[in-house]
């Protein structure tokens, strides 16, 4: 009998295809429910060819605090936020490195809030940052740098290995977003309209070690070097959020770091009055994060600070203006609908 | 042939699904938070050289209730009664929560550790309360040395009983000599391997 050598090969390909398809089906879609952050990372690739003059990288202190719609409407700056929940400094570095393969912005704004973390924190955050990245050297390196204790890298490449138990919990959403990711942001900005006023925040714990860890600083240096190599201005930002505490020692370190490296460091916390942030209306969770009203105020303040950089007024370009007009209309509609529903 | 291919593919698929760790996918926003070991660098790093070993177990007492980080929170919160204020901090994307309770003179931080809500930090916030040793916010630095001994380094004293660390921060004020600016009890750093 003739030996059919190709049977194992075909079987392997078939199994691989099934695993890929089931992985797509069972992976969480983050389209509805309170956690939307997991879908943001994959959204970028559809916008990568648009070319953005400003790239914002980091955690919730960029993706919930800075509005690209306002940066365009008030300053003519085109921008995109590559942000994810509790994005660690090494994840920011690999995301920046990956993004620079698609485009070269004039400036990068980096949230420094996550400098406080010296080690991977939580698998759920890892998933929200890493699952949506396209397979490439940066994803591989970011996974290797991010694994928490007991986590295996393989399931980041074969999601079915992690999510197969969801096969019994599938909903219509899983089918709807089988081959595409839900787009829930405006160039990476995740809008929150709720208004939960600040009442009280706990006292900051005593800072026993005034220094950031070696690891986040190593990756901060890599981000600095990468931007220098590409001729990109790097701006370090701390958004006007009061919790978790931002210590004067950290502020002093970054002031010094920025000065020594010819960078800008903008800590917005002391300027909350100047930007008219009212914590009775401008936060959606009692002072931890800004809602859209606070984010717009902060964005205007930040935009003014960025005007020293040689940005083009892209409002004068009809094609770009039309694209942003469509996004702005959807943005305003969501703000109106969700804003009134929370009143 | 088709049967063989499908059987082989099914075996590969099943083996693959067994190869990674099992368990519930971490999607529930209210699922257990990162363990306390995963708190911020600021909350963790207690440099050993300045640490004095406490002769007795360290604790704080309020309303007749003994409080120590690591204790289960529920019975303590019941015993303490209604707080002046409470605050629940959702972290980014709702993964994990910090819960804070404000009582007269002190605050409690509660986190979930291995499925149990435990006190992780006790912070004295004003001079209406004192530690069992007699330390209070605004007290003089000399009282720390007199009551507990040890030496300050970089503006704070730490005392450790193996499970709980008492941190006393001192600052220079307008009057000569330093005063106590912060007192807190936190879980001892896990021994390093």
Nearest chain A residue (CA) to B86: A200
For residue A152, which residues of chain B lie inside 8 Å, CB to CB? 20-21
**How confident is the model at residue B91, as a pLDDT?**
62
Which backbone phi and psi does A237 adopt, to 5 degrees? -130, 145
Nearest chain A residue (CA) to B152: A208
- Is the complex ipTM more than 0.85? no
Nearest chain B residue (CA) to A26: B25
Distance CA B94, CA B114 (A): 18
Domains of chain A, earliest start first: 34-121+128-149+183-341 (3.40.50.1110)
Smallest Cβ–Cβ distance between A122 and the set B34, B42, B156 belongs to B34
**DSSP 8-state assignment for residue A170:** -
Q: Tell if the CB–CB gap between B6 and A14 is shorter than 8 Å.
A: yes
Distance CA A135, CA A330 (A): 31
Q: Which positions of chain B have pLDDT values less than 70?
A: 1-55, 90-96, 190-193
Distance CA A53, CA B135 (A): 56
Task: List the strands of the sheet with A107-111, edge to edge.
Answer: A79-83, A54-58, A107-111, A233-238, A264-267
Interface test with A, best of B14, B18, B40, B42 (most A CBs within 10 A): B42
**How confident is the model at residue A136, as a pLDDT?**
96
**HEC letters along A41-53:** HHHHHHCHHHCCC
**How confident is the model at residue B193, as a pLDDT?**
35
Mean of the per-residue pLDDT values for chain A? Answer: 93
Smallest Cβ–Cβ distance between B156 and the set A118, A208, A212 belongs to A208
For residue A163, which residues of chain B lie inside 8 Å, CB to CB? 25
Q: Tell if the CB–CB gap between B17 and A160 is shorter than 8 Å.
A: yes
| B60 exposure class (CB count in 10 Å sphere: 0-12, 13-18, 19+) | buried
Q: Tell if the CB–CB gap between B102 and A116 is shorter than 8 Å.
A: no
Neighbours of A217 (CB within 10 A): 16
| Cα–Cα nearest to A342, from A281, A276, A278 | A281
Smallest Cβ–Cβ distance between B21 and the set A12, A150, A201 belongs to A150
Q: Cα separations (Å) of A303 from A68, A74, A235, A297, A311? A: 10, 8, 12, 10, 11
Smallest Cβ–Cβ distance between B27 and the set A28, A199, A245 belongs to A28
Looking at CA atoms only, how far is residue B64 from chain A in angstroms?
A: 23
For residue B21, which residues of chain A lie inside 8 Å, CB to CB? 150-152
Interface test with B, best of A6, A8, A15 (most B CBs within 10 A): A15
Per-residue confidence in pLDDT tens, chain A, 343 aa = 567 888 889 999 999 999 999 999 999 998 887 788 888 999 999 999 999 999 999 999 999 999 999 999 999 999 999 999 999 999 999 999 999 999 999 999 999 999 999 999 888 899 999 999 999 999 999 999 999 988 889 999 999 989 998 988 899 999 999 998 889 999 999 999 999 999 888 899 999 888 999 999 999 999 999 999 999 999 999 999 888 899 999 999 999 999 999 999 999 999 999 999 999 999 998 888 999 999 999 999 999 999 999 999 999 999 999 999 999 999 999 999 988 776 5
Smallest Cβ–Cβ distance between A121 and the set B4, B13, B38 belongs to B38
Looking at CA atoms only, how far is residue B55 from chain A in angstroms?
A: 22
Q: How many CB pairs under 8 A join A and B?
A: 152
Nearest chain A residue (CA) to B26: A124
Give the 3-state secondary structure percentages of chain B, helix then strand then coil, rounded to 5: 25, 35, 40
pLDDT by residue (tens digit) across B112-146? 888 889 999 999 999 999 999 999 999 999 888 88
**How confident is the model at residue B66, as a pLDDT?**
94
**Alpha helices, H only, B20-81:** 41-44, 73-80
Q: Tell if the CB–CB gap between A210 and B47 is shorter than 8 Å.
A: no
């Amino acid at each position: 009998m003739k030996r059919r050598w190709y049977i194992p090969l075909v079987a392997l390909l078939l199994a691989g295809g099934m695993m890929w398809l089931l992985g797509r089906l069972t992976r969480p879609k983050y389209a509805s429910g309170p956690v939307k952050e997991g879908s943001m990372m994959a959204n970028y690739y559809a916008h990568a060819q648009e070319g953005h003059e400003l790239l914002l990288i980091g955690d919730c202190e960029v993706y919930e605090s800075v509005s690209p719609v306002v940066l365009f409407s008030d300053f003519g700056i085109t921008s995109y936020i590559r942000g994810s929940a509790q994005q660690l400094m090494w994840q920011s570095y690999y995301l920046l490195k990956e993004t620079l393969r698609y485009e070269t912005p004039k400036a990068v704004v980096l949230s420094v809030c996550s400098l406080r973390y010296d080690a991977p924190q939580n698998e759920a955050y890892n998933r929200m940052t890493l699952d949506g990245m396209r397979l490439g050297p940066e994803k591989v390196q970011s996974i290797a740098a991010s694994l928490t204790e007991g986590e295996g890298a393989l399931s980041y490449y074969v999601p079915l290995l992690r999510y197969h138990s969801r096969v019994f919990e599938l909903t219509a959403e899983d089918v709807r977003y089988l081959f595409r990711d839900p787009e829930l942001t405006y160039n990476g900005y995740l809008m929150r309209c709720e208004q939960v006023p600040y009442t009280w925040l706990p006292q900051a714990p005593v800072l026993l070690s005034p220094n950031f860890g070696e690891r986040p600083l190593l990756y901060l240096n890599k981000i600095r070097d990468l931007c220098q190599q590409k001729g990109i201005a790097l701006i370090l930002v701390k958004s006007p959020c009061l919790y978790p505490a931002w210590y004067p020692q950290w502020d002093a370190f970054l002031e010094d770091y920025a000065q020594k490296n010819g960078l800008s460091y903008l800590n917005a916390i002391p300027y909350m009055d100047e930007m008219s942030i009212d914590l009775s209306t401008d936060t959606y969770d009692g002072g931890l994060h800004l809602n859209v009203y606070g984010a717009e105020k902060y964005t205007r303040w930040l935009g003014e600070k960025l005007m020293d950089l040689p940005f083009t007024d892209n409002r004068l370009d009809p094609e770009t203006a039309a694209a942003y007009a469509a996004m702005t209309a959807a943005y305003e509609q969501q703000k109106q609908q969700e804003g009134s529903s929370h009143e | 042939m088709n049967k063989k291919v499908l059987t082989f593919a099914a075996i590969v698929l099943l083996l693959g699904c067994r190869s990674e760790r099992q368990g519930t996918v971490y999607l529930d926003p209210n699922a257990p938070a990162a363990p306390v070991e995963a708190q911020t660098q600021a909350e963790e790093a207690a440099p050993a050289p300045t640490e004095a070993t406490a002769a007795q177990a360290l604790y704080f007492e309020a309303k007749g209730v003994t409080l120590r980080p690591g204790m289960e929170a529920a019975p303590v919160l019941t015993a303490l009664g209604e707080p002046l204020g409470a605050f629940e901090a959702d972290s980014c994307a709702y993964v994990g929560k910090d819960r804070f309770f404000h009582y007269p003179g002190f605050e409690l931080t509660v986190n979930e550790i291995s499925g149990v809500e435990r006190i992780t930090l006790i912070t004295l916030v004003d001079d209406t309360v004192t530690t069992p040793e007699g330390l209070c916010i605004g007290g003089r630095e000399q009282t720390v040395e007199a009551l507990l001994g040890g030496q300050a380094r970089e503006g704070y004293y730490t005392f450790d009983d193996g499970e709980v660390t008492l941190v006393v921060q001192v600052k220079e004020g307008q009057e000569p000599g330093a005063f106590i600016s912060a007192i807190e009890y936190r879980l001892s750093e896990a021994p390093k391997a």
